[in-house]
């Protein structure tokens, strides 16, 4: 989807490619002998927010099937345990693919109940290709520089130009990283997880993954079920749709979530003065989109950038007040300044976003087969756009390099698993980035898992974001290994009510936050925000983790 909002988004395969075979039992005999790993050298890298944070690097094989060959470097972080009871490492991943996870160790350690966090070494990491890991991919710097052409093709010539742009990006990746791209994929990253485990000297890992991180966790668990101690998966990628079909599901879900936002704006007409009829408010939004085609706001925000700006509202409704203010200022006051500032805050790509998008495409295009005939994309996109116009074409172009990817695609592994200890799955019913069906699907595939549902929740990444019910389930699981169990044949094991809708918080014409508005990382106004992250996932992330799932970003994906 968009550089700041789509990396957390996951999408699905239509065609078979090279087969990826994962063992149904613990890996061992027949695998290449692992390269001996020196102990990790942790050094202090504290921040004001996370004073106990430590950093280290780890060399791993570029190709795990050739352990004596070329190495790459992973960047790790740690908040060490402080309790006498030690439950081992807790590896955390914010999603993407392409999301940086180094800051997430500090966030998770600070957000869990202190007694629980004290019993774990919380381990963050930048996956291969991402952030401070080396090499860090950046196929085509400035790919999302404004103002882009309208994402919805206005004719055959405009469509050809957009296709050429996607092809150019894929070719740039192939020329720049020909030796690396065959090994930027989920299975290779899962094998990196096991290298981290070995370097930590741990017989098993505990794992907390969000968005795409749920798929990474499921793949790791399939590879090494005996090495999983506890695993919590929040906002689940549907493994049946990796990746093309999952993207289509997202198109519908984000359009529905955008309509939810428009309905909220209508209920707040006393503040935003955009009308009380949700359909009329939505029509005004599309008129704004049309106007920006001819005159981009602040010279930066055209129709595509507008979609990039409002897409984060589909990840986290805490952004709605600021977005509504920008919408209202443009429509009612002919003032484009708040819209430009909202774009710069939520939608604009930077160097980290360029890196995140390069990894996003590299993983998703390699992981699974995509249609290579552009006619398939065109037909599907117009069919979906007719019913869900909010971001369908934006999402199509975000993923379009996969139609021209220079490396052959793999076949997604079967993540069915009956060899794990209880796995905790947490899912909001109205999540747009990873729709509810994904949580149900994985629950059915992983025997003995427990599904906890946030009823009526539309945010992405639902734990450690203020819902005490969900957070209690997560904390209990990490502390004791216990999961809730439904009675009888009920599929859902526990239900938590969603948090209340946000209250309107009018902003000034300069875009200054109203007192107490949460930033994307969960800090209130006046506090320093963390470094920008790569890309969408997405959607990105770790703001109240769900707040940021688009920004640890990205994706969700």
443 is catalytic: no
Provide the sign of the torsion angle of the four alpha carbons 500, 9, 399, 350, taken in this order: positive
Q: Which of 194, 367, 431, 471 is catalytic?
A: 431
Residue of 111, 151, 211, 450 with catalytic role: 211
Cβ distance 88 to 116 under 8 Å? no
Here the tokens at position 283 are 């029509």
Q: What angle do CA 420, 425, 431 make, to 5 degrees?
A: 150
Q: Are 406 and 432 in contact (CB under 8 A)?
A: no
Question: Roughly what angle, to the nearest 10 degrees, separates helices 392-399 and 244-267?
Answer: 150
Nearest to 107 by CA among 530, 535, 533: 530
Residue 76, H or E segment: strand 71-79
Element (H, E) at 91: strand 89-93
The vertex-441 CA angle with 435 and 445, nearest 5°, equals 150
The continuous run of DSSP H or E covering 116 comes out as: helix 114-117
The yes-or-no answer on residue 66 being catalytic is no
Q: Which of 5, 67, 32 is nearest to 307 (CA)?
A: 5
C-alpha span between 303 and 309 (Å, rounded): 10
Catalytic residue among 385, 460, 473, 550: 460
211 catalytic, yes or no? yes
Sign of torsion over alpha carbons 54, 208, 216, 190: positive
Q: List Cα–Cα distances, 159 to 256, 286, 381, in angstroms.
A: 26, 21, 12
Distance CA 377, CA 25 (A): 38
Which active-site residues does the annotation give?
Answer: 211, 431, 460
């Amino acid at each position: 989807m968009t550089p700041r909002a789509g990396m957390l988004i996951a999408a699905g395969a239509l065609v078979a490619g090279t087969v990826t075979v994962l063992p149904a039992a613990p890996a061992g005999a027949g695998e290449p002998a692992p390269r001996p790993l020196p102990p990790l050298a942790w050094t202090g890298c504290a921040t004001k927010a996370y004073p106990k944070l430590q950093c280290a690097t780890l060399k791993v094989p570029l190709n795990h099937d050739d352990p004596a060959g070329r190495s790459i470097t992973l960047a790790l972080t740690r908040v060490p345990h402080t309790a006498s009871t030690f439950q081992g490492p807790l590896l955390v991943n914010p999603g993407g693919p392409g999301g940086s996870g180094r800051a997430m160790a500090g966030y998770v350690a600070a957000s869990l109940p202190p007694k629980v966090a004290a019993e774990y070494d919380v381990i963050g990491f930048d996956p291969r290709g991402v952030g401070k890991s080396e090499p860090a991919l950046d196929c085509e710097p400035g790919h999302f520089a404004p103002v882009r052409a309208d994402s919805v093709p206005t004719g055959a010539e405009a469509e050809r130009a957009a296709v050429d742009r996607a092809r150019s990006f894929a070719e740039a990746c192939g020329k720049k990283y020909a030796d690396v791209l065959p090994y930027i994929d989920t299975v290779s990253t899962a094998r990196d997880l096991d290298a981290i485990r070995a370097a930590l000297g741990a017989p098993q890992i505990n794992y907390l993954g969000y968005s795409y991180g749920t798929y990474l966790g499921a793949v790791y668990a399939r590879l090494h079920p005996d090495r999983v101690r506890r695993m919590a998966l929040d906002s689940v990628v549907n493994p049946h749709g990796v990746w093309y079909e999952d993207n289509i599901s997202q198109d519908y879900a984000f359009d529905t979530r955008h309509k939810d936002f428009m309905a909220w704006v209508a209920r707040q007409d006393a503040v935003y003065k955009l009308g009380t009829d949700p359909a009329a408010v939505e029509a005004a939004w599309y008129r704004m989109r049309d106007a920006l085609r001819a005159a981009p706001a602040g010279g930066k925000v055209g129709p595509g950038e507008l979609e990039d700006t409002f897409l984060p509202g589909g990840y986290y409704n805490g952004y709605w007040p600021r977005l509504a203010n920008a919408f209202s200022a443009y429509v009612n006051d002919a003032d484009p300044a708040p819209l430009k500032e909202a774009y710069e805050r939520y939608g604009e790509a930077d160097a980290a976003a360029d890196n995140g998008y390069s990894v996003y495409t590299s993983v998703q295009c390699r992981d699974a087969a995509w249609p290579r005939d552009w006619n398939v994309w065109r037909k599907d996109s117009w069919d979906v756009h007719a019913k869900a116009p909010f971001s369908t074409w934006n999402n199509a172009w975000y993923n379009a390099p996969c139609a021209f990817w220079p490396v052959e695609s793999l076949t997604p592994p079967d993540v069915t698993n009956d060899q794990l200890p209880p796995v905790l799955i947490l899912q909001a019913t109205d999540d747009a980035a990873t729709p509810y069906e994904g949580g149900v699907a994985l629950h059915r595939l992983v025997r003995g898992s427990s599904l906890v549902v946030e009823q009526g929740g539309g945010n992405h990444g639902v734990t450690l974001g203020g819902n005490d019910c969900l957070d209690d389930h997560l904390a209990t699981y990490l502390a004791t290994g216990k999961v809730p169990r439904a009675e009888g044949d009920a599929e859902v094991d526990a239900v938590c009510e969603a948090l209340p809708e946000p209250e309107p918080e009018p902003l000034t014409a300069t875009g200054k936050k109203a007192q107490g508005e949460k930033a994307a990382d969960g800090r209130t106004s006046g506090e320093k925000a963390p470094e920008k992250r790569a890309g969408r996932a997405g959607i990105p992330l770790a703001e109240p983790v769900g707040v940021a799932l688009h920004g640890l970003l990205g994706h969700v994906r």
